Structure 1
Amino acid sequence: MTAAQPSNAPLNIAITTGEPAGVGPELTAQALAAASAHWPGAHFTVLGDSGLMTERAKAVGIDWAVQQGRSIVTQHHPLAAPVQAGKLDAKNGPYVLGLLDAAIDGALAGTFDAIVTAPLQKSTINDAGVPFTGHTEYLAERTNTPRVVMMLAGTGARPLRVALATTHLPLKDVSAALTVDGIVDTLRIIDHDLRHHFGLPAPRILVTGLNPHAGENGYLGREEIDVISPALKLANGQGIDARGPYPADTLFQPRYLNEADCVLAMFHDQGLPVLKYATFGEGINVTLGLPIIRTSVDHGTALDLAGTGRADAGSLIAAIDTAVSMARNRRAA
């Protein structure tokens, strides 16, 4: 449970700069230099190595010292080893995880109203000897949350949002991971967070099937009949407007999406390729169901672009914008 901030206190948004060899540090500098004035009443705490931030900001033409002030501060966490842009070093795996831990601890204590995470490199943390599947799973474990939901979203007046019933699983394990109770819990989390964090009074959720053509009445699989449809019936009985299951190959078109607030896809590569095709560079990742607010970019560490100034900060700006909006809605709820 997080501590409540006074309603008139400035929002404090934590930004973890992620993998030091990747684009996270420079994108953080670019995003805040370009757009911090667009978030009045919000303060930003950047978690990372101060020297690294100064160096990467300079590489993209930003004086990081000038950026520091009332609304932007750097919480210094020293690197474990010197870093070169684009060159991974497992010695910095604990550093990356330490940034995330500090942000989580601060959010749980009420110091931070939201966390925005720049991309990290899973392999660096695993190579350092720490088992790590991803941000989403780690946040769930650290906050003792039994079920979280990964949702990616675009921006704009009618943003496309895609949530996942399963996340980082091999395809062969997806069917066994889908249960009636699990899908109902997932729909409940989506409905709750869209209401309380996104300000949607009556969210409408469209749900895909698992199999081609949503199973063809059982000829191509029975998950729609035995699991997904019963889950939708139970969710509807709890006041959740969830509809389906729809064939995934025809659901992602305007005639359906124009009246939907979110799509629930059954597995990672069923819904996310469509969303990333439509929104890449401006899309975001949101973890629903946590006791804290967390948003992130929709891309990886882009090691080949680190330090070059060619990486686009659009996704990080959108992630910060969404974190600020969610934190404001949460305070007002």
Structure 2
Amino acid sequence: MSVATSGMDDPVGQAGKGRVKDAILIAGPTASGKSALALDLAERTGGVIVNTDSMQGYAILDVLTARPGRAELSRAPHLLYGHVHPSIAYSTGAWLRDVTGLIEEDRLAGRRAIFVGGTGLYFRALAEGIPQMPDIPAAIRQHWRREMNERGAPALHEILLRLDADAARQLRASDGQRIVRALEVLEASGRSILAWQKDSAAPLIDRASARFLVIEPDRAALAGRIERRFDAMIAGGALEEVRQLAALGLDPALPAMKAIGVRELQAALAGTMSAAAAIERAKIATRQYAKRQATWFRHQLGSEWRRLRPGDDMETTI
């Protein structure tokens, strides 16, 4: 039985415990200016920028996910951008393993690591560690997903009640994703997901020397930036990216297919929605997403996070 860790013999919590010193973590909602701040800090400190956003890790969607362009890439090293094929269901655990790989390969050595993005769970995993989980063989994963599609969540919840009652009682009968996950883990390892969750890995960063920053932009100003940025995305080739993604014929349930703008622009390309309506809906979805991000950061990030608000002097961030 293998464990989803760093890809090494030791678990993530042992192989990388506190090994990233003096890290800077920059969180914030989409279009809040966090990437520009990260680039400024990287240039000032000789640092390296590490993507901490789930969608910016996917290939093809360069423009639609607002990944750094050639000009930004020429100014500082950027890691873990566009390295995952859209057919892969990339996860927090996979991202953490990739960060551990950077550590093991000494790609962060001698440079200040600047983690920037909008995925709260990535920051939590980085700073707090996450439970170790077993690798799930493809056959087991496909079996339970097929069962989910054919029989539905309540039926699988009944199965889980028989096999792992304690885990089942903690889940709603309608929570298909978590029910399937519990069944996968149980079959793959012979051990309850609750037992795995008790074994938390240690954080990869040294919290004592790290700087925690979260951008809290003015909502009206952010809405304006979202509008202008999406228009720039359309002008920069976002439609062509969505056309390339659609040509792959991927499962619509895959995370990459849920990137904001993909569904709307696909509808425009298919002729089921006008381009103007698709763009407007994508802008609305982006604003709603930014609001959810801001709410999560406000309630889930602790007191060690410095809140950067309009008018704050960015020169004093480090």
Task: Please say whether Structure 1 and Structure 2 have the same fold, judged by a TM-score greater than 0.5.
Answer: no
RCO higher in structure (CA 8 A, sep ≥6): 2
Give the TM-score normalised by the residue count of structure 1. 0.28
Give the TM-score normalised by the residue count of structure 2. 0.29
Which of the pair is proportionally richer in helix? 2
Which of the pair is proportionally richer in strand? 1
